[in-house]
Structure 1
Amino acid sequence: MSFSDKYSKVFKYLLPAPFTIAVILTIVTYCIALVFTLPNKASFSAYSYKLLQFWDDGVWNSGLMVFALQMMLMLVLGHVLALTKPVNKIISLAVNHCNSTAKAASLVTLLTVIVALFNWGLGLIFGAIFARKVAEHAKNKSIKINYPLIGAAGYSGLMVWHGGLSGSSLAKVAEPNHIKEMMSGIFSTEQINLLPNQVSYWETVGSSMNLTVMALLIVVLPISMYWLGKKVHSKNFNIKITDKDSNPQKIITGAEKLDHSSLFSILFGGIIFIYIIFKIRFEYDNNILAFFNPNNINLLLLALAILLHKNFTKFLEATDDAISGAAGILIQFPLYFGIMGIMKNSGLVGEISDFFVQISSATTYPLYTFLSAGLVNIFVPSGGGQWAVQGPIIIQAATEMGLSLPKSIMALAYGDQLTNMLQPFWALPLLGITGLKAKEILPYTLFLMIIGGFIYLSCLIIF
């Protein structure tokens, strides 16, 4: 049995479905809070009920529910944008240069990483479609390639996304008052007043550390995959050539013409896009990075998706294809919010933060945050869910130690995205599109993880 087969078997044996993990984490958090935060004068039964109330308040927290919807839209609209004809034309043009495993792996990695730094949903589906198109091209041209390696290259965007424009934690802290609202009930009023109103994209995405990280990823990852492509052997693979153009044309009558009208959809999408330009000009004083927060990102994705699909029918058909990918966010996020409710209101956040403060120094704290985030991501495979659970701990510990909050947030972002190469949850859409199996791409995603881990750790130490 190969290493990847053994790993895949162990992973499936030890880890149930992500929703089940979320339930287990809820129970574990509840029990830990019950044991370690029980007030001296409180009865066990009364505090048990109180913790359930904390959980209930967290699950249905209106602000966090908005966060869940924002993240769902970010994934769905990014997916919808990936299904537009212009994006497919870009992929088709790039595929013509993929006449060997090494070239294909390098080019798929390069473009997927760049796209994922703009939007993670777009990057995930773009990479999956690109990988499949490469396989179809290879079949048509009788070119021998290592398809699992190309599939892994198409998944590379999930290792860089959280440091880009759609990073969940980065987008949320850029929202005015998010940090203060998150720490409400943990910090005193005086402490909350000392917190920044927001952490802008200039301090996270646009920081010198992150720009260096992105430059290294864009250069080093494609080169590494090119080198690996030269070393691996081509394998036989079966793939069905898709031909969506063969579908019969539908006769459009009456009010349906409005649904299929290019003029109407382009006019609507164009108005939104023009409004965005004016919004950047007048509300953000031409500061483009300041514009990016969850609502504005989704507004931009909506405008682009409607414009590039050219009619509402195609836009809605693409939305139907994309919506299933957001099911995990819809059903899991409330459980993570419940965990956050227990941790905040019971004082467990403070207990964990104190532990990190005691064992950390200014140098080691970002590294501990990075490593812990990578570990947590295996069990909480969502950047948004992870920020809801781990964010308050990071904010409190960084504040108490007087360390850079933006760097601490970036350390979480790097750790969260790195172990996506280990955790196959977000690979499910890619596997469905490519027809590959998790165990087939795993050896190559682990290779990407090693290269990425070296880049992230090096930059966290240097900066």
Structure 2
Amino acid sequence: MKFLTKIANSIMEKYLPDPYIFVAILTIVVVLLGIGLTPSSPLDMVIYWGNGFWGLLQFTMQMVIVLTAGHVLANSPLFKKFLTAVASKIKTPGLAIMIVTFVSLVACWINWGFGLVIGAIFAKEIARHVKKVDYRLLIASAYSGFIIWHGGLAGSIPLSVATAGHPFEEIMGVIPTSDTIFTPYNLFIVVTILITLPFFNRWMMPKEEDAVEVDPALLQEEEQKFPPPENTFASRSERSYILTVFIGIIGVAYLVYHFATKGFSLDLNIVNTIFLILGIILHGTPQRFLAAAQNAIKTASGIVFQFPFYAGIMGMMTDSGLAEVFSKWFIAISNETTFYLFTFFSAGLVNFFVPSGGGQWAVQGPIMLEAARVMGADYAKTAMAIAWGDAWTNMIQPFWALPALAIAGLKAKDIMGFCVFVLVFTGIIISIGFLFL
């Protein structure tokens, strides 16, 4: 295994381009496929691209906030002490890889936004304390936990179909989470990955002489320097704890109200609210909070300038009918036994071009649900097959790795060699879940 991962990492380092180059090439590929496989003209594809380009604007802002607010929270004095205390208990590279994988899996099962940020931050803190651990594999392990998100509590597809008034209610009705997230086949997949993936990631550890330790420069943090206090209203306000107390009270009161009235409902906006309010409280003064935020925002440039290109690709995939073409390929070779498996595979393919769970469900859902009706297949299981396919190929799709890479200070090519094997390993487990359970 060590030999195979070494080869894979070598190939990725030589040939995998920067994520922006990747999305630019992907854009060109989708344009050509749309022209070749659908009735769309070159002008049509350009129009579809332009119409969709800003389709993820709200989501882009949400991701910028989850990344920067998580970064601010992690760099607050109290949270840093907590992470340092936990990380200092881990003494060996093997244990570091397993703990990071497990923590990331659990966090992503609870909420994917929470897990993406916390896993990477925790891995980076462990790198400060554990010598000889391969930093690339450590961050890849943190990202590998993301594989589990769509089978968890914040899965967008199972939560969507459990909500009255969802777009496909007339076709499939309202499907409770007991028929999706908490079914035996889904729990089998989740639990099996939760137990085995930490050991699998440890198995991929390079030999000690091949391990790439963290560059000390990536662990250095800019010391916050503040101008000397002045006896002015502006200066006193910046250093005042009173504003922090009032904002903290308002934020905590709203969160209490939210959970009291809606139960344990964690969407991306609530995760962002938790991160933001805790960051404000734990930094104490507005001055310290704003300084941490200014430092954190530097990590978000990849998201800001790349997500619109993925939105353009989604627009082309949807409006040209290319996603429908891909889905029908797999439907054509399916039967009653293999339908869910090929639905999973088709969703994995479409996810390369539509890397958004909600977006993919909107594009692929009607096609696969109609196929399920014709074949007499279960609608809920069909939805979960799309959900797992969406999560599966995220392992080799740089779109979702950008937040973790920004925190870690690495490039996609640094971790994707390991992620290829995570894709294969988890793909076997997920396939067994849909084929035999």
> Which of the five TM-score ranges fits, normalised by the shorter chain?
0.7 to 0.9
Q: 1:370 aligns with which of 315, 324, 344?
A: 344
Matched letter for residue 303 of structure 2? A
Distance across 1 between alignment mates of 2:257 and 2:223: 42
Aligned to 1:277: 256
Distance across 2 between alignment mates of 1:377 and 1:429: 18
Aligned to 1:94: 86
Q: 1:106 aligns with which of 98, 101, 105?
A: 98
Q: 2:137 aligns with which of 117, 131, 149?
A: 149
Secondary structure of the residue that 1:335 maps to in structure 2? helix
How many Å apart are 1:262 and its aligned residue? Answer: 4.2
Aligned to 1:184: none
1:125 aligns with 2:102: no
Aligned to 1:265: 244
Whether the 8 Å contact between 2:317 and 2:353 is mirrored in structure 1 is no
Matched letter for residue 271 of structure 1? I
Aligned to 2:3: none
> Structure 1 residues 270-279 or 217-226, which shifts more?
270-279
Change (3 A) 1:312 1:385: farther
Q: 2:37 aligns with which of 15, 19, 32?
A: 32
How many Å apart are 1:170 and its aligned residue? Answer: 4.5
How many Å apart are 1:408 and its aligned residue? Answer: 2.4
Aligned to 1:186: none
Matched letter for residue 243 of structure 2? F
1:240 aligns with 2:216: yes
Matched letter for residue 39 of structure 2? L
Change (3 A) 1:55 1:168: same
Matched letter for residue 342 of structure 1? D
Whether the 8 Å contact between 2:108 and 2:149 is mirrored in structure 1 is yes
Distance across 1 between alignment mates of 2:60 and 2:410: 30
Distance across 2 between alignment mates of 1:306 and 1:134: 25
Aligned to 1:5: 10
Change (3 A) 1:48 1:218: closer
> Structure 1 residues 451-460 or 348-357, which shifts more?
348-357
Whether the 8 Å contact between 1:366 and 1:408 is mirrored in structure 2 is yes
Change (3 A) 1:112 1:361: same
Q: How many residues were matched structurally?
A: 425
Secondary structure of the residue that 2:189 maps to in structure 1? helix
Secondary structure of the residue that 2:216 maps to in structure 1? coil
Change (3 A) 1:133 1:424: same
Aligned to 2:379: 405
**Residues 228-266 of structure 1 deviation map (CA, whole Å, 9 limit, x = unaligned):** 44x732536462264547433443552354455444334
Aligned to 1:38: none
1:320 aligns with 2:312: no
Distance across 1 between alignment mates of 2:381 and 2:286: 42
Distance across 1 between alignment mates of 2:159 and 2:166: 10
**Residues 249-306 of structure 1 deviation map (CA, whole Å, 9 limit, x = unaligned):** 4435523544554443343344333334334434x4x4x3xx3445555545544454
Distance across 1 between alignment mates of 2:31 and 2:362: 13
How many Å apart are 1:53 and its aligned residue? Answer: 7.0
How many Å apart are 1:460 and its aligned residue? Answer: 1.9
Whether the 8 Å contact between 2:299 and 2:407 is mirrored in structure 1 is no
Alignment of 1:335-374 (within 5 A): 335-339=312-316, 341-343=318-320, 355-374=329-348
Distance across 2 between alignment mates of 1:387 and 1:279: 27
User: What's the RMSD between the two structures over aligned residues?
Assistant: 4.0
Secondary structure of the residue that 1:403 maps to in structure 2? coil
Secondary structure of the residue that 1:224 maps to in structure 2? helix
**Residues 196-241 of structure 1 deviation map (CA, whole Å, 9 limit, x = unaligned):** 3x55555444444333333222222223334444x73253646226
Note the residue ranges of structure 1 that are not aligned, 5 or more in a row. Answer: 36-46, 181-191
Change (3 A) 1:52 1:165: same
Aligned to 2:129: 137
Whether the 8 Å contact between 1:84 and 1:309 is mirrored in structure 2 is yes
Change (3 A) 1:349 1:150: closer
Distance across 1 between alignment mates of 2:64 and 2:160: 14
Alignment of 1:126-205 (within 5 A): 126-138=118-130, 143-170=131-158, 172-173=160-161, 176-180=164-168, 193-196=170-173, 199=175, 201-205=177-181
Change (3 A) 1:169 1:246: same
Distance across 2 between alignment mates of 1:222 and 1:385: 30
How many Å apart are 1:452 and its aligned residue? Answer: 1.8
**Residues 17-50 of structure 1 deviation map (CA, whole Å, 9 limit, x = unaligned):** 2144135424533553316xxxxxxxxxxx9988
Distance across 2 between alignment mates of 1:175 and 1:71: 24
Whether the 8 Å contact between 1:76 and 1:325 is mirrored in structure 2 is no
Alignment of 1:201-216 (within 5 A): 201-216=177-192
How many Å apart are 1:105 and its aligned residue? Answer: 1.0
Distance across 1 between alignment mates of 2:379 and 2:165: 15
Matched letter for residue 419 of structure 2? T
> Structure 1 residues 15-24 or 48-57, which shifts more?
48-57
Distance across 1 between alignment mates of 2:323 and 2:203: 45
Distance across 1 between alignment mates of 2:95 and 2:273: 35
Alignment of 1:68-87 (within 5 A): 73=65, 77-78=69-70, 80-87=72-79
Whether the 8 Å contact between 1:77 and 1:121 is mirrored in structure 2 is no
Change (3 A) 1:273 1:200: farther
Matched letter for residue 124 of structure 1? L
Change (3 A) 1:144 1:300: closer
> Structure 1 residues 103-112 or 294-303, which shifts more?
294-303
Alignment of 1:221-240 (within 5 A): 221-229=197-205, 232-234=207-209, 235=211, 237=213, 239-240=215-216
Note the residue ranges of structure 2 that are not aligned, 5 or more in a row. Answer: 1-5
How many Å apart are 1:102 and its aligned residue? Answer: 0.9
Secondary structure of the residue that 2:345 maps to in structure 1? helix
Matched letter for residue 28 of structure 1? L
Aligned to 2:418: 444
Whether the 8 Å contact between 1:98 and 1:134 is mirrored in structure 2 is yes
How many Å apart are 1:371 and its aligned residue? Answer: 1.7
Change (3 A) 1:373 1:308: farther
Aligned to 1:420: 394
